[in-house]
């Protein structure tokens, strides 16, 4: 896909009110795409839409709770009614739920699955018939490095992100040759409100959401199966492949779980 390929494309971005979703929406708009901004907070979405319009782009705001199937269906139909097509879906909305397994309630995992897994599954299934009928489109699933190597005490988050990564792995293979591409994105620590109260060690320093957005656009252009960002995060994957015991030790040694601090003090 060339740089010009985003011009006039219609891209739906969930979780567009903040962080990676906002940065990706702005990056796509800058490349000429028409963006559909979905998340729960309308004022924050309106602010992103104003930024898009200020750069001469087009944005459609559709407040959506991705855990609600009807709202997700409405998001897709509203987009099709407005612009007649969906070329790109970025399933990005997410919540970070961490709690030691010994203190865990089933509800903690259900809540994480509702947003991080089903909140991505619903829009994928809702948009897929349209993309298959046109034999074109691209689906991006934003998971996490936590879906490559679990970090304590993130079990609720890790479980949902592994589930999403597994779904995406099969989806990509089943859609091979259909004209619809799939990219699964595995960011390391990113400087967004999601982990504003988490101080992280130097080895997993937070990267700007714009870096992830650029990697996502590159992933779509090149039809990459997976995007791992930053590249250093791969070291943990290699370590785990070599020896899970060694990787567990590395997680403990480098304090990859980070330290919980007051909100805003984690940057
Ligand atoms: N930050 C990191 O270190 C990191 C690392 C790896 C992966 N990720 C993943 O990257 C994605 C984006 O996270 P971020 O870091 O950009 O965090 P963020 O700034 O907190 O953004 C999260 C977004 O998800 C939306 N969202 C949450 N629950 C929702 C719901 N029920 N329905 C619709 N939208 C919902 C939020 O919007 P509303 O509140 O307006 O609904 C917000 O726009 C997530 O999937 C996250 O797991 C983040």
Residues in CB range of 59: below 8 A, 6 or more apart:
25, 29, 34, 35, 36, 37, 48, 49, 52, 53
From ligand 1's centre to the CA of 97, what distance in Å?
11
The closest-lying atom of ligand 1 relative to the alpha carbon of residue 21 is 16
Instruction: Kindly list the catalytic residues.
Output: 157
Per DSSP bridges, beta strands 137-142 and 10-14 are unpaired
pLDDT digits (tens), the chain, 267 positions: 555 689 999 999 999 999 999 999 999 999 999 999 999 999 999 999 999 999 999 999 999 999 999 999 999 999 999 999 999 999 999 999 999 999 999 999 999 999 999 999 999 999 999 999 999 999 999 999 999 999 999 999 999 999 999 999 999 999 999 999 999 999 999 999 999 999 999 999 999 999 999 999 999 999 999 999 999 999 999 999 999 999 999 999 999 999 999 876 776
For residue 109, give the H/E element and its range: helix 106-112
Is the separation of the CB atoms in 159 and 112 below 8 Å?
yes
For residue 23, give the H/E element and its range: helix 19-30
**Is the model's pTM score more than 0.95?**
yes
State residue 4's pLDDT score: 67
- Which residue's C-alpha comes closest to atom 34 of ligand 1? 39
- Which residue's C-alpha comes closest to atom 6 of ligand 1? 144
From ligand 1's centre to the CA of 253, what distance in Å?
28
State residue 2's pLDDT score: 53
Q: Fold for domain 3-260?
A: Rossmann fold (3.40.50)
From ligand 1's centre to the CA of 45, what distance in Å?
13
Is the separation of the CB atoms in 112 and 130 below 8 Å?
no
| Ligand 1 site, CB within 6 A | 14-15, 17-21, 39-41, 44, 64-67, 92-95, 115, 119, 142, 144, 187, 189-190, 192-195, 209
| Residue of 162, 165, 167, 163 whose CA lies nearest to 150 | 162
Q: Give the start-to-end residue ranges of the domains of the chain.
A: 3-260
DSSP helix/strand/coil, 152: coil
């Amino acid at each position: 896909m060339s740089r010009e390929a985003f011009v006039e494309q219609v891209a739906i971005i969930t979780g567009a009110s903040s962080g990676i979703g906002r940065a990706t929406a702005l990056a796509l708009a800058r490349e000429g795409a028409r963006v559909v901004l979905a998340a729960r907070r309308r004022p924050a979405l309106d602010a992103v839409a104003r930024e898009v319009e200020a750069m001469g782009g087009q944005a459609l705001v559709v407040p959506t709770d991705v855990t609600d199937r009807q709202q997700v269906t409405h998001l897709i139909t509203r987009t099709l009614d407005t612009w007649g097509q969906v070329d790109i879906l970025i399933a990005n909305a997410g919540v970070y739920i961490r709690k030691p397994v010994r203190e865990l309630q089933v509800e903690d995992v259900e809540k994480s699955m509702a947003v991080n897994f089903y909140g991505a599954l619903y829009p994928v299934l809702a948009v897929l018939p349209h993309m298959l009928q046109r034999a074109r489109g691209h689906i991006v699933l934003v998971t996490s490095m936590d879906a490559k190597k679990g970090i304590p005490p993130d079990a609720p988050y890790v479980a949902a992100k592994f589930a999403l990564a597994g779904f995406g792995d099969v989806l990509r293979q089943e859609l091979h040759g259909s004209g619809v591409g799939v990219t699964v994105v595995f960011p390391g620590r990113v400087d967004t409100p999601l982990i504003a109260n988490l101080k992280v060690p130097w080895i997993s320093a937070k990267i700007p959401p714009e870096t992830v957005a650029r990697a996502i656009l590159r992933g779509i252009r090149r039809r990459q199966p997976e995007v791992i960002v930053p590249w250093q995060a791969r070291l943990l994957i290699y370590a785990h492949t070599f020896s899970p015991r060694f990787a567990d030790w590395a997680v403990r040694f480098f304090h990859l779980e980070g330290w919980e601090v007051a909100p805003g003090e984690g940057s």
